[in-house]
Amino acid sequence: MAETTRAIETAKHCRNHFRCIFMGYSTTYSYLIEEAGFTFHLLSPHVTDAQVELIMKADQMKTIKNPFTFKMVKQRVESEIELISLYKPAAIVIGTTLSLFISARACDVKLVYIKPFAYTRTHLSYGNVKLPGFLSRLSRLMPEKRLLSMYRNMILHMRYIPRSFSKVSAMYNVQYPKYTIDMLDADYNLITNIPEITGVSRLPENDRYVGPIFAKLDTEIPRELTRLNRDKPLIYFAMGSSGGKKLVSAILHILSHLNVTVICPMKKLLGDCVREYQNDPHIHICDLLPAHEISKIVDLSIIHGGEGTVQTACLSGKPFIGIGLQAEQEANIDDCVSFGNAVKLHKNKVNKRHIEQALHSLLNNKSYQEGAAAMEQLLRGKNGAKNSAAFLINKFGT
């Protein structure tokens, strides 16, 4: 959803200069594209629910199985080349559609990647990098600084390219870079952050900061949510499309036993579990909401660390609890923890005590309120979608 909405917001600012055509392998969020007035092409092979689950597990390092088989990558590249041949685009703009790194180059079309700063080569070389949980435990055996240096060096020099991608790229004489980290570099990379947060002012020649881009769903907040009794702290709880039903249910169960009121827009994911909270006056489960609006009326948020979700919380001027589900999300949360507007909880250590402590800190420690206000001030007026569109118009417009 984050990648879909980033593309939609950018395309809105481009529509007077380009004809923007969308493509994808799932219809899950295609209605958002069509509601915004853009054409969507569903390409084959269509992604199945099982494949989505496997991709999410791989992204969160819960499996070493490569979800992108040779057959899938080959068929995707063939479908993409057919579409590229039909439209002959001036440029291709992506979120993280891995097969397009092959097909765009096979067709000699410039690739523009709208991407987070976290886990880019620049981030790993110069940014605020923390040891992942499984490695931090080794700090008892050697100094943490040395461990971190080894971790950075290992990722920067990793040479693994999934066989399915290397085989298909060879079929089209497309050369992958030497190191894995560079596999996800496009011709131009638009970084959806700002140097004041990343701590890195200089980027490679083909990279540029554009600022925050996040979902701005054109839906109204249900009236009953704007009239909630504020006798308890009001919390917005959402874990995005990467949050699993088990984790969301577990956190919701904990929150139902705390002195808070909760708005949770994860009705579709929770399915039958929604019934458990039908008679609870302090748990409100609903469909997707305009997070950029709802976050303004709550006291704080509990979210995963997806960059758009984090930036939405930051622009609300309210602090948040971040529960990262993979490395990039944890890095986004770490930046906010360092800034002073967030508390980080590890996904494997989510329990009543930790959540209660985090809520108490954010609601009662004035420094978090001040940090959240300072973060909002820093990001206010920075329009990543508008800046991305300006780059595209300047580079590819006629």
Residue 104 to residue 118: CA distance in whole angstroms: 24
Phi and psi torsions of 12, nearest 5°: -60, -35
Residue 139 to residue 59: CA distance in whole angstroms: 25
The predicted pLDDT at position 137 comes to 66
The predicted pLDDT at position 361 comes to 96
The predicted pLDDT at position 341 comes to 96
Please give the single-letter amino acid code of residue 97.
T
Could you identify the residue written with the tokens 């080569």?
121
Spell out the CATH class of 2-211+382-396. Answer: alpha beta
The predicted pLDDT at position 135 comes to 66
Beta strands in the chain (DSSP E): 21-24, 39-42, 92-94, 111-115, 188-191, 207-209, 234-238, 261-264, 283-285, 300-303, 320-322, 342-344
The predicted pLDDT at position 291 comes to 84
Domain ranges of the chain: 2-211+382-396, 223-379
Instruction: Please work out, in degrees rounded to the nearest 5, the angle formed at the alpha carbon of residue 295 by the alpha carbons of 15 and 269.
Output: 85
The predicted pLDDT at position 288 comes to 85
The predicted pLDDT at position 348 comes to 82
Q: Name the CATH architecture for the domain at 223-379.
A: 3-Layer(aba) Sandwich (3.40)
- In CATH terms, are 2-211+382-396 and 223-379 the same topology? yes
The predicted pLDDT at position 138 comes to 66
Mean pLDDT by 10 residues, the chain (398 residues): 91 96 94 95 90 73 78 97 97 95 98 95 93 68 83 92 95 94 96 94 96 84 84 91 82 93 89 85 88 88 91 94 91 94 90 95 96 95 96 93
The predicted pLDDT at position 139 comes to 65
Residue 368 to residue 373: CA distance in whole angstroms: 9
Residue 22 to residue 314: CA distance in whole angstroms: 29
The predicted pLDDT at position 271 comes to 84
The predicted pLDDT at position 64 comes to 72
